[in-house]
Amino acid sequence: MSELSTKDIKFLSGVGPKKAELLKKEIDVSSFEDMIYYFPYKYIDRSKVYKISEINSTSSYIQLKGRILSMTEIGEKRKQRLSAKFTDGNDVIELIWFKGIKFIVDKYKINEEYIIFGKPSVFNGKINIAHPDIETIDEATSRQTLGGLQGLYNTTERMKNGFLNSKAIHKIVFNIFTHIGNTTIPETLPSHILQEYNLLNLKDSLINIHFPKNNELLKRAQYRLKLEELFYIQLNILRTTRIKNLRYKGFIFENIGHYFNTFYKECLPFELTDAHKRVIKEIRIDVRSGKQMNRLLQGDVGSGKTLVALMVMLIALDNDFQACIMAPTEILANQHYESISGLLSELGVSVALLTGSTKKSERAMLHENLANGELKILIGTHALLEDQVVFKNLGMVIIDEQHRFGVAQRARLWKKNIQPPHVLVMTATPIPRTLAMTLYGDLDVSVIDQLPPGRKPIQTIHRLDNKRVGVYDFIKKEIALGRQIYFVYPLIQESEKSDYQNIENGFERLKEIFPQESYKISMVHGKMKPSEKDEQMQAFASGKTQILVATTVIEVGVNVPNASVMVIESAERFGLSQLHQLRGRVGRGCDQSYCILITSPKLSNESKQRMNIMVNSNDGFEISEADLKMRGPGDLEGTQQSGIPFNLKIANLATDGQILQQARDIATKILEEDSNLDSEKNFVLNKQLNQLAKGKINWGAIS
C-alpha cells in the first residue's frame, strides 16, 4: 500500500504520543492510512441554520446562529453545571455543560456571534442543548468550504476524555489530507474495473467520505468503497475455492443402486415434495462431478431435511462408502437415530448411534465395525470427531444444524478419510443470501422452499404475562382434543439478575394448574443427566405425557408431530431466529398449531418489533432478513466462528445486498478470464489480496 501506511500518526501535527496511544488502543489506528480508513458512521447537514422557534422535542442535530446572553454556574461542587442563555435574536434557549466549565467560561464571550451545533433534549419540560459545539463565524466559514455535510465519527468514552471527540477526529483527518496535498494515493482497484463500473477514484472517494462536497459525491464515494470492500472478500473466497477444487478430487458416486432404489420404491413413508426431488438431484450432480461436494442445505423447520440426508447417505452406500450424520445435541442425535433406523429397518442397513453416553463396551464394538466397514451409517454428536472414530471408507458427511458447529469442528470430519468426503451441511436457520454469500461463499446452496403437503400455517399470538389465565384455558381444550403442549423457559432457576421466567417455578405453577390426576408433565433442561433427559423426552414423544416443560435444549430439530401448542415464556428474552426455531417444534402434523409468546408488559420497542414480526410471518427467510437488519451480522448465530471479518469498515451486509451481488459478479468474471490473476491488468488485485492476507483481516479458511 501507499507510504501512508508507514507514517506514524503520532507525528501528525496536533496528535503527539498521548493521543496516538489512545487511538491505537481504542480504535486500532496507528498510521495515517489507518486514520483515513476510519470512516464517519453518519453525516449531518450543516448547511442549514435553524431558528430557535423551529426546534421541538424530536429535533435531531441542529445548528443555530446567535449570541450568548449570560452564563451562570449552578449547583454544588461535584454536581456543578454551567447554564447559558443563547438567543438568535427572537427567542432564547438554554445551553448546558456538566464538564469543562472553566474552559467554556474562559473561551466564549458574552454577546459575540457564534454558530452553535448540537442535539436538543427535553429536561423538566424545557428544551435545552447539552454540550453544544461552538464555532466563531470565521471557523464556521472555513469549515463550510469543506462542504455542508459533516461526518460524525464513533469515539469511545476514553477518547472523549483524552480530547479525541468526533470533531477532533474530523480535524486530524483533515490535517492528513492537507499533508497529502496534491500527491496521489495509489489505486487499490485496477483501472479496467474503475472504468467499466464508472467508479470514483480512490483519492476522491476517501476525500468525499470524510468531507463530502455534496450528497451525490458522498453516494459515489460510499458506493466505490463498499463495492471494493465486498469485492475483495468475494475475490478471496472464490479464488480459494478454485484452488481447493483443484487440489482435492471428490469421490465419484456413479451408481444409484440397490439401497437408494429399494428405499425409494418400497420404504418411503410419503411422496417426496418437488423441492425434495430438486435438492436430491442437485446433490446427485455434485457427487458425480469429480469435485468434492461442499453444499449447504437450507430448509425451514419441518421441511423434511432428515429425509434428504438419509437418501443422500444411501447414494454413498450404493457406491461402497460409509456415511455419517453429526448433530449438535444428544436429543437430536437420538431422534435421528430413531427415525433413520426405523425407516431403514426393512433395508438391512446397519446403523449405529454414538454420543457421549454410549457405553464403553458398546464403543469397542462400534469402533471395530466402523473400521472393518460392516457398519454403514453412523449417527452421533461431537463424539464422532474423536480420534478413535476411524472409518473404513467414509464418503459422505452430513452435519445437521451446522450453525451450532465451528469451522474447526467441521474441518475435522474432512480428515476422516484420506481424500475428503463429500459434505452436506444442513440448517433450519435460513441465512439471508447476503450473509450466506460471505459466510459460506465457497459453499453451494440448495434450498427446500416448500413444506410437506397438508401443513397448516402456525398461528402465532402475543400475550402479556397478566393475561396468562386465558392461555391455560386454551391449552386445556387442546389437550382435551388429544394434542400435546410445549412450555419453554429462558432460565433454569430463579436469577437475581433478571426477571425472566424460570423452569423450576414454571414447573411448580403448571403442576397446580394441570393437576397430576388428569395431566402428566415431562421436563428437560441442560442440567439434567442425559439418561434422565432421554427418559423424559421419550415419555413426551410417545404421548405418555401431555406437557413438556423445557429450556431451549429443544430448540433444534425435536420432532413430535402431535404437539400443537408452543408456549414461549419471557419471549422477549429470545432472538428472532431462536423464536422461529422454537415455534418450528409445532405444526409438524396436520392439526392447526399455535405458538403463544408470553412477555412482560414492559417491552422495549425492539422487543415489540420482534413480537410483531413473529405474529405476522411464518417465513424463515423473511424472519432472518429482519433479524439481520435489527441485530447486524456480527450477532447472528454462526458468524462468530466463521473467521470472516464482520467488522466491515463500510459495507453493511444487512443493507448492501445488491452491491454484494455485484461484487461477486465482478469477482467471478475476473477469475473466469484470469484464474491466477497473473495478467498485467490484474496486478493490483494480486497485490491487494496478498496485503489483505498479511494484514489485520483474518481470512479464515471456510469449508
* Sites of contact with ligand ADP (CB under 6 A): 270-273, 276, 299, 301-307, 428, 452, 557, 559, 561, 588
Q: Can you say whether residue 273 is alpha, beta or left, with left for phi > 0 and alpha for psi between -120 and 50 degrees? A: beta
Could you tell me the smallest distance in angstroms from the CB atom of residue 158 to ligand ADP?
47
Give, in degrees to the nearest 5, the angle at Cα 599 between 598 and 604: 150
Other C-beta atoms closer than 10 Å to the C-beta of 25 total 13
The reply to whether 190 sits near Mg ion by the rule CB under 5 A is no
Phi, psi of 84 (to 5 degrees): -125, 145
Selection from Mg ion, ligand ADP, none that 559 binds (CB < 5 to 8 A by kind) is ligand ADP
Cβ proximity to ligand ADP, 34 vs 400, nearer residue: 400
Torsion angle, alpha carbons of 549, 551, 556, 559, to 10: -10
Cβ proximity to Mg ion, 344 vs 479, nearer residue: 344
- CB 426 within 8 Å of CB 398: yes
As a whole number of angstroms, the distance between CA 354 and CA 389 comes to 10
What are residue 84's DSSP bridge partners? 71, 95
Stretch that binds Mg ion, among 11-19, 451-459, 514-522, 550-558 (CB under 5 A): 550-558
Which residues inside 218-247 make contact with Mg ion, applying CB under 5 A?
Answer: none
DSSP calls for 127-181: EEEES-EEEEHHHHHHHHTT-SEEEE----HHHHHTT--HHHHHHHHHHHHHHHT
Selection from Mg ion, ligand ADP, none that 302 binds (CB < 5 to 8 A by kind) is ligand ADP
Selection from ligand ADP, Mg ion, none that 523 binds (CB < 5 to 8 A by kind) is none
Stretch that binds Mg ion, among 187-195, 514-522, 531-539, 552-560 (CB under 5 A): 552-560
Residues near 326 by beta carbon (within 8 Å), at least 6 away in sequence: 333, 380, 381, 382, 384, 385, 397, 398, 399, 400, 405, 413
Question: Which residue in the set 299, 380, 452, 557 belongs to the binding site for Mg ion (CB under 5 A)?
Answer: 557
Phi, psi of 546 (to 5 degrees): -95, -20
Beta strand residue intervals within 226-268, DSSP E: none
- CB 458 within 8 Å of CB 595: yes
Selection from ligand ADP, Mg ion, none that 15 binds (CB < 5 to 8 A by kind) is none
Could you tell me the smallest distance in angstroms from the CB atom of residue 413 to ligand ADP?
19
Selection from ligand ADP, Mg ion, none that 272 binds (CB < 5 to 8 A by kind) is ligand ADP
Q: Across the beta sheet with 563-568, what order do the strands follow? A: 459-464, 594-599, 563-568, 484-488, 547-550, 521-524
Selection from ligand ADP, Mg ion, none that 670 binds (CB < 5 to 8 A by kind) is none
Could you tell me the smallest distance in angstroms from the CB atom of residue 279 to ligand ADP?
11
**Residue whose Cβ sits closest to Mg ion:** 557
**Residue whose Cβ sits closest to ligand ADP:** 304
Could you tell me the smallest distance in angstroms from the CB atom of residue 246 to ligand ADP?
34
Cβ proximity to ligand ADP, 187 vs 338, nearer residue: 338
Cβ proximity to ligand ADP, 202 vs 560, nearer residue: 560
Selection from ligand ADP, Mg ion, none that 307 binds (CB < 5 to 8 A by kind) is ligand ADP
As a whole number of angstroms, the distance between CA 457 and CA 459 comes to 6
Cβ proximity to Mg ion, 66 vs 557, nearer residue: 557
Cβ proximity to Mg ion, 506 vs 557, nearer residue: 557
Cβ proximity to ligand ADP, 140 vs 301, nearer residue: 301
Could you tell me the smallest distance in angstroms from the CB atom of residue 98 to ligand ADP?
55
Q: Across the beta sheet with 92-97, what order do the strands follow? A: 120-123, 126-130, 92-97, 81-87, 62-74, 113-118, 133-136
Cβ proximity to Mg ion, 404 vs 610, nearer residue: 404
- CB 315 within 8 Å of CB 256: yes
Cβ proximity to ligand ADP, 66 vs 302, nearer residue: 302
Enter the C-alpha cell of residue 188.
487499490
Could you tell me the smallest distance in angstroms from the CB atom of residue 557 to Mg ion?
4
- CB 357 within 8 Å of CB 376: no
Residues forming contacts to Mg ion in the complex (CB under 5 A) are 557
